[in-house]
Structure 1
Amino acid sequence: MLTVCNFHYIRRDFNKPYPSIFGVTPDEFDYQIKELKKMGRFITIDELTTDIDTVLADKRHHLLVTFDDGLKEQFELALPILEQHRTEALFFINSMNFIDNKVSMVHKIHMVRSEVSPNEILKEINKIPNSQQNELTPAEFSKAVAHYRYDDQSTACLKYLLNFKLPKSSLDIVINALFQRNFEEESVADTLYMSNDQLRYLAERNMLGNHTHSHFALGLLPKPEIEEEILKTKSFIQSFKKNDNLAISYPYGSAEACGWPVPEMAKQTGHKIGFSMERGSNDITADKLLLKRYSSNDLPGGKNYSS
């Protein structure tokens, strides 16, 4: 059995005017690794990528840590703790952050929401013509509440609207305008994401994984764009070191973000292992291109864990 624990932000503090960016401190991360060790053993990346069937079939409990988004804080604050525990992890990156030196829209949203009130963001959205089309249907409301289970309903709906519902053209207008008022993109990109030397360090240890080029919800894109998103990052990672066992993590990881034909496209582009954000552990019945993961909050030591 394989249980995967996924992390994003790791910072010494998360003090912002508005709650938006959530994660763990280094001390919390260290404690959580210690607690997870009590559940089973952490597998190596080589075991994962070359012997996944044995891992899934084994009755013993195997554990894996993953990180999404290629953030510098993951390398500088989390990796030293992992190395102290002699534990490996997979770090999934978006190549646009490095090739284009651009900030992903998902991080622009996080940063804007941390500095700008929800009412001001909604006010900007409502300035867009036909903005009533951006209201959530009852079905979308249910999806929002289920996917963003750690947020209150109004926050969950705003996040769903920004990440899934709002047309890209509208999103670009609203978020880019608010982002540019509060941040300088090139400076943010340099400080937020790993350096090439850090990427190379991970690549040499086969600890880099594909999180696509632009961090779009792949399931909402046409097939040619899905393929392009996957291949750009695969090629970028291979520029550091050739890896025939590259794994992929689907941005957002929800059913609509990684539904058909996304896993099939991942397979066609040479990926043998893929990760969603469906909660649960994985056994021999698991789809190896749609492996389940827990948020760090869901497991021992996490904020929402209850034994």
Structure 2
Amino acid sequence: MLIAINYHYVRERFDDPYPGIYGVTPAALRRQLELLGRAGTYVSAEDVRRAAAGGRPLPERALLVTFDDGLREQVELAWPVLQALGIPAIFFVNSRPLVDAVVSTAHQIHLLRAGLPPAELSALLAEVAAELGVAVALDGAADDARRQYPYDEPAAAELKYALNVRLPLDQRRALVEGAFARVFAGRERAISRRLYLSPAQ
């Protein structure tokens, strides 16, 4: 059995005003990886490729560590932990932020949710929708939202559900980009450079 263990944010602190960015500290990452390593065997991308091609089979409980989005903190904070423990990992990098110095829509949502209370963010998104002439429903799915996001406060879960599930991709992108431009006016390039890997990395 192959078990993929996925990480995104790895930071020393998660101290934003509101819960919009979830992740682990380097110390927590180390503890998790040590604990998981007792239950299985870490494998590399090459091990998986080889097994898929009919070569040497994977261990009974193969563990594959992955990091998504190409965040700078993954190389600066997670990579040293992986090296110290001798654990291979796969890093998936979004190229657009590197090439165009923009912030992806998913990360715009995280940053907006981390900086604004749900009611204020909902109001801002409604304003942007009105300006764009788009009719959107950011509420009305409380039960589905609670099932999907049981660890979030109800208002945050409902907004998160609307943004991640209910809105069509083009509407979501337009609304989020409009709200992000208002809240982080003129700072997207700098945020992108801080958030993502540099081309040299």
TM-score (norm 1): 0.57
Given the alignment, which residue of 171, 178, 194 partners 1:191?
A: 194
SS in 2 for 1:80: helix
The residue aligned with 1:51 is 51
Tell me how far 1:141 sits from its aligned partner: 4.9
Q: What do residues 180-204 of structure 1 show as CA deviations (whole Å, max 9, x unaligned)?
A: 4336011011111011222xxxxxx
Residue segments in structure 2 that go unaligned for 5+ positions in a row: none
Letter in 2 for 1:155: A
Tell me how far 1:3 sits from its aligned partner: 1.3
Which structure features the higher share of helix residues? 2
Residue segments in structure 1 that go unaligned for 5+ positions in a row: 199-307
Tell me how far 1:156 sits from its aligned partner: 2.0
The residue aligned with 2:4 is 4
Aligned in 2, Cα 1:156/1:56: closer, same or farther, shift over 3 Å? farther
SS in 1 for 2:200: helix
Tell me how far 1:166 sits from its aligned partner: 3.0
The residue aligned with 2:179 is 177
Letter in 2 for 1:195: S
The residue aligned with 2:154 is 153
SS in 2 for 1:51: helix
Is 1:35 the counterpart of 2:38? The answer is: no
Calculate the aligned-residue CA RMSD, in Å.
2.7
Give the conservation status (yes or no) of the 8 Å contact 1:125–1:131. Answer: no
The residue aligned with 1:105 is 105
* Counterpart-to-counterpart distance in 2, 1:70 and 1:33: 20
* Counterpart-to-counterpart distance in 1, 2:184 and 2:139: 28
Aligned in 2, Cα 1:181/1:56: closer, same or farther, shift over 3 Å? farther
* Counterpart-to-counterpart distance in 1, 2:109 and 2:98: 19
The residue aligned with 1:87 is 87
* Counterpart-to-counterpart distance in 2, 1:91 and 1:122: 33
Q: Spell out the pairing of 1:235-254 with structure 2 (5 A cutoff).
A: none
Give the conservation status (yes or no) of the 8 Å contact 2:19–2:114. Answer: yes
* Counterpart-to-counterpart distance in 1, 2:69 and 2:55: 26
Q: Spell out the pairing of 1:13-32 with structure 2 (5 A cutoff).
A: 13-32=13-32
* Counterpart-to-counterpart distance in 1, 2:90 and 2:35: 19
Q: Spell out the pairing of 1:294-305 with structure 2 (5 A cutoff).
A: none
* Counterpart-to-counterpart distance in 1, 2:20 and 2:107: 10
* Counterpart-to-counterpart distance in 1, 2:124 and 2:116: 11
Aligned in 2, Cα 1:99/1:178: closer, same or farther, shift over 3 Å? closer
Letter in 1 for 2:4: V
SS in 1 for 2:101: coil
* Counterpart-to-counterpart distance in 2, 1:57 and 1:150: 37
* Counterpart-to-counterpart distance in 2, 1:170 and 1:88: 35
